[in-house]
Structure 1
């Protein structure tokens, strides 16, 4: 039978190396198996967080991944379509202390095979470049405009004042790659910083801790201080996760929220991974939180049609009237913590968009 674990000692008194060992074992051997792409995704994400935040991981804690590392050449040869996951895991294992030369061999093979050149998007090309440059190869040396295209995308704040989670996650990952995961100044322009603020405001209004945590990390990697309110809420969410142990624990869970919230804690220098499994299969469940008011705000604005205005001061009272007390608090907090909230709202309201039919009629 599955059970929610209750630790007999305060988590802060558990040694960090023990917490990390239990976590690595859980994801390497208990939840999924090595031929599953989701196994690759989960383990790549965990190891990346441990490596880029400088966690000291005992070599014995990495033992559950020794078999993967020993066979990664064969996996790369048979599953070249998964090369970014495979490279990420192998390189992080080496940088955490396991092995030495396999990662460079894999990078050389991937570069010479032209795997990065067939990527569909600039974001994937940027990830491939960042991975291979960790071992001294640039697979896209002839693409001098890649970073310029990435910066052009993130330098358009209007994109990020509208609900679009895919675009928002691409924004954060571009900052991760440009900053080499916090190792250098990404040199963001003022519009890109505004993009992060607008995307963070939407994430907070939606009470999306996963996305907001990534945005706070991106801001820190860009040398900025995220709003205290945002980070304190994420820290509260991180502390509230429950971990269900046992063979019936579901793996379609909130593990990614758990990872990213703890990633932000690590970047801040706070204690991390407070709730970890005891070397077994586990399910990660985020704390129940009050639904954000984003949907109610959007529905009201859409519903009032031509009465909609981009003037925040004109619309503020009407929007507060359609929200419950907690929704009002969240909206007020969003207003107080956004850069240029009035500009953000003017874009978000979409009050002056010309309907397609009217535009065609005018053109005719």
Structure 2
């Protein structure tokens, strides 16, 4: 698979109508209606607030693959990548790989499982339920739809598409985990049967293709069993389930660069499934993927003289939806003070002449100004960033 070529040609199939994380159900519906006949579509039900949820089918191969995105309304990267995939599959210059996929696989795609949450840009649905913790009780209509759809299709493989906190990093690198992968566990013992092993081997192939493009920026999630989650239960039901999470990337807060690599993760996984190359992959290659952890801040101020001692200060923000779900407000908190030499950050300030004006209080909203030679580098008021150089 020519991953670098597809990355270079990404502009030719990027869905231009989806240019931010704050995409809404109305836009998605308009794009679905424009898909050609090769993409069969049907409404399989409605969200709690009555928004249609559509299933799209493409290809005629014997291997059934189910892909679903945006169970959490504020996790839109997978949805953007799926619509990029729809465009990719239509372009003649990529006919060789699209024909291979169509002959080998039948794809079932469910973009935006949680349109009510997407409308508000919040994690949970309109009932304030975390859909991905509702597999057992199914009090949300979205959980019932997702569970019933998998049961109806009975797919061989599943792609569970999510976004993770930008504070996940790749262990011992100081770099953000731009992507994270996982073959979820299906029991508390973390057993590996043929179903889960197939997911692991596909992920190992994905990592082989993506790692050269994102060195030290792909992590493997801890596989702790979660009895309420869909990925764990789909794995138990016989669908080899692959979790892909979009994290952070330097200079890409809106994830318009990350979506390229997310798309490539999906495509490389589908390619591995179509060619069955994954069966030749040693299982150890999955377990050798670097683990992810949280060793990164959004802002790190190093070697600062504060109260007559030299310390580093780490700050990170929490996002809350604003402007009716079309933007967010970032509130910065001082997360740590002391020896932070082994940690990384998206923005690092480390000049020896730095000066701070204002209080530095652990676990409190940032409320200070950082200067160098009387020039303001950072300024916060009640946790809100006022200026930054």
Give the alignment's TM-score, normalised by structure 2: 0.27
Structure with greater strand percent:
2
Structure with greater helix percent:
1
Structure with more contact order per residue of length (Cα contacts < 8 Å, sep ≥ 6): 1
